[in-house]
Chain A
């Protein structure tokens, strides 16, 4: 049973565009929602994380929007660059702080 659903599967934007990746979760027993970025041949790297009592968080060009009542959250990448081309994963951490449950990923391609 997939507890974190991510869309779209792939995304192509032009340089300077604002790609948006969406995730929805099914379990309320999550207490942190991080986003990870993965380049080919590398492990995922943490981009930004948010708690469910916060509606928005910005770090540099990356913004998470969180809608607790809808059980949805999204990642926005402002002024996207070709170097942002990677696979992005949303995740949710189970309360009691063990497992991260990942979405299936979104492959982003930023064309110059």
Chain B
């Protein structure tokens, strides 16, 4: 059984740029969620995808967007980066209906300068 993987591990971008983060779900999971974790804080829900469609969204602006592919892998895209977007971005996969049991990847550390 393969766990959740994310790429890249670290990323440095300049304010105003765009970034794409990638996630491969755990084998068999059909739901993927993305979270933003600022230093010293708990993860904050960005959105969730199920069957390639957005299935719930947190309090994040539209410049945060995502995709889920037929193989359940996913992307998080952030446009017009701000300094405040610097954080650890976590991807989590789960079975639909058991979303309390989310399996997290190691995250992508994004630094915006």
Interface residues of A (CB under 8 A from B): 6, 32-34, 36, 41-46, 49, 89, 91, 93-94, 96-105
A41 to B103, Cβ gap below 8 A? no
Which chain B residue has the least Cβ–Cβ distance from A98?
B56
> Which of B13-21, B63-71, B72-80, B104-112 participates in binding chain A?
B104-112
Grouping DSSP codes into helix (H, G, I), strand (E, B) and loop, the A interface class, with mixed when no group exceeds half, is strand
Q: A101-B45, A104-B42 are in contact. Are A34 and B4 (CB under 8 A)?
A: no
A100 to B104, Cβ gap below 8 A? no
Which chain A residue has the least Cβ–Cβ distance from B58?
A99
Q: A34-B101, A43-B107, A45-B104 are in contact. Are A100 and B45 (CB under 8 A)?
A: yes
For A96, the chain B residues whose CB sits under 8 A away are 56
For B105, the chain A residues whose CB sits under 8 A away are 43
Which chain A residue has the least Cβ–Cβ distance from B41?
A104
What separation, in Å, do the CA atoms of A41 and B100 have in the docked complex? 22
Q: A44-B104, A45-B104 are in contact. Are A93 and B99 (CB under 8 A)?
A: yes
Q: Is B92's CB within 8 Å of the partner chain A?
A: yes
For B97, the chain A residues whose CB sits under 8 A away are 97
A46 to B48, Cβ gap below 8 A? no
What separation, in Å, do the CA atoms of A96 and B56 have in the docked complex? 10
Could you list 24 examples of A-B contacts with CB < 8 Å? A33-B100, A34-B100, A36-B104, A42-B106, A43-B92, A44-B43, A44-B90, A45-B103, A45-B104, A46-B103, A49-B100, A49-B101, A91-B42, A96-B56, A98-B99, A99-B56, A100-B100, A101-B45, A102-B35, A104-B40, A104-B41, A104-B42, A105-B40, A105-B41
Cross-interface CB contact of B99 among A6, A42, A97, cutoff 8 Å = A97
What is the distance, in angstroms, from B83's C-beta to the closest C-beta of chain A?
A: 21
